[in-house]
Structure 1
Amino acid sequence: MVARSVMPGSDRNRPSHSAEKGSPNESKVSARQFALLAGTTAARVMRFYRAWERAAEAELVPCAADLRPGQTVELPASDEWAEYFTKYEQSTDRREGIAQQAEAAGTSYTEAVKVAKNPAAMRTAILGDHKTADAAHRALMDRLEDDIDLQAAMARTIAKAPELRKAVTAESKKSEQIEYVRKVAVEGKIKTPAGKILDAPPALKATAERHFAVLETGDDEIPPESAAEAYEAIQHLITETIESDPEIQLRERRARLYSRLQRAAKAFEDVDPDELASLHEPDIVTVLQKLQQAITSCLESASGGGTRPALRAVGEM
């Protein structure tokens, strides 16, 4: 009755543009009007309508748009119809979500709804069977990307479990090591301890390619030891590359020293002179005097013992 009498969005007093005169949809009513006449809800009417449309897509019944009110239609057997509409699921949003996934995966909608209606049985199957647990894990990971609430729930679970935090840390380290080997193998670049990017020597790149070929299996079960071994082998070759080239060694020393000086300067810049003036702490003055002496010594070394700029004494502050 719903399929042959309802056209969603139509109104008896204001026909839809698609309901042309003489068409099967001409005398159809909206889901809201049908619900008023039948003494039910528009949501329930639309559940029947969408179920019919899914059956029509499977060529089990004619398309609702081709039916007229009062027209006789041969209905499928009840066990076939259950694939497209079932009494087990009352929530429209949940049912529609399950229906979409069942269609995409080519699985039984009815069976999926039965599972969703029995969480206790589903939990028991996950706990007792490795294959079921694996399927549940894959489903959660597929859903995780777009489900913000699930992301938050997973994060809370990991944060509360020390063993899970440890496992996540280990997996993150393994992923970083594999990615490092991949970059050397694919991009042919290496990063020195001082942070400089250099072209990888052919022998080093070839070694990285061999290791990455072993790691690039598409298998999530790569042992952490394998990733660590590949990473350490590349690091060892990078060290040898640096030690064999005096020019690279000099650039590394210069970069490391400059980095340390930059960090020291930034730390000193964060000291508030007004706060120092308000404290009048002798110990702080002593520390600053030692710092001034260290800076003076560094300036003398950096300038080769030549003339250095005058420094204001700490006591003049």
Structure 2
Amino acid sequence: MLDALDPDSDHGRVYRALTIRGRRRSDQLVRHTGLPLAAVATALAALAEADAVLLVDEKEDLWEARPPHQVMFTVLRLEEARRAGLWQAGEELDRLYYLAQRDATYSRDVEPIDHPLDLIALTRQLQEQAAEQIRWLDRPPYYSRPRHFEAQEELQSRRLADGLRYRTVYHQAVYDDPDLFAGMTRMIDQGESARVLADLPVKLTIGDDYRALLVPEPDRAGVDGAMLVHASGLLNALAGVFETLWTLGVPMSATADREELSEQDRIVITLMAAGVTDEAIARRLQLSRRTVVRRITALLDRLGATTRFQAGVQAANRGWL
């Protein structure tokens, strides 16, 4: 399915022929794509299974393409699912690692945290003592009470006003909880930099480069396995994990873009998120390459995205596609 929008793949050549030329028979697609009939049949079967094409007349062997924006949205969802699967695999490795370490004696660089209230107190202390930035991987489940969330928001507001940087990667579940989403929006309004990922492997809070709070098995009851990590090789590794996830995350904006998206810009963002080159987009829209580059740059800025894939996910989240 991920090849459907790749013009150099068999799937992409067949899908593109149906998109441009409309309904066609398999033998006609052989002529349009230059592929042998067996390759066309294999591609059509795979595309149909992925719901990218539809057999509209079995007797006539007549096929048509699904709209490209629907296919692109499916591609983005599959890519997010693939990434989520990678992080779930990483989470399982983390679980096995910490299970193996559970009976080992903690070094001076790591201290166990035995109670949720201790974790909450240390989280506050970490933020109070930080001088430059807080890096946060925020994911469910949440064990804090409502007053703890209120206290955290008050603390973060004050520290943001002091000039402390907050960079937070949220789990996509933030969209499902109105209170959490509202809180995230308020913090972004006050200066928090926020991104969202389909899944996060651990709960993690890092204060500057000196200390971190890690919950390696968030789905277990309470804070089992939670630890305070001091400056060490482990802390450096955790900071590296955060930066990797930050790069993969989709940037979030505090205010929704109320402007309508033109049909031409909708086509541009659909094609660019699918990996189509600037030159190909220019040919499709009969525009100059320079005009297309300007439009893509403007769309990336408008979406707060740094990559074409991020732009596609953000546009899909906003209902533009």
TM tier, shorter chain? under 0.3
Structure with a larger share of its residues in helix: 1
> What is the TM-score of this pair, normalised by structure 1?
0.23
Which protein has greater RCO, CA pairs closer than 8 Å, 6+ apart? 2
Q: Given the two structures, how large is their TM-score scaled by the length of structure 2?
A: 0.23
- Report which of the two structures shows the higher radius of gyration computed on alpha carbons: 1
Could you say which structure has the higher strand fraction? Answer: 2
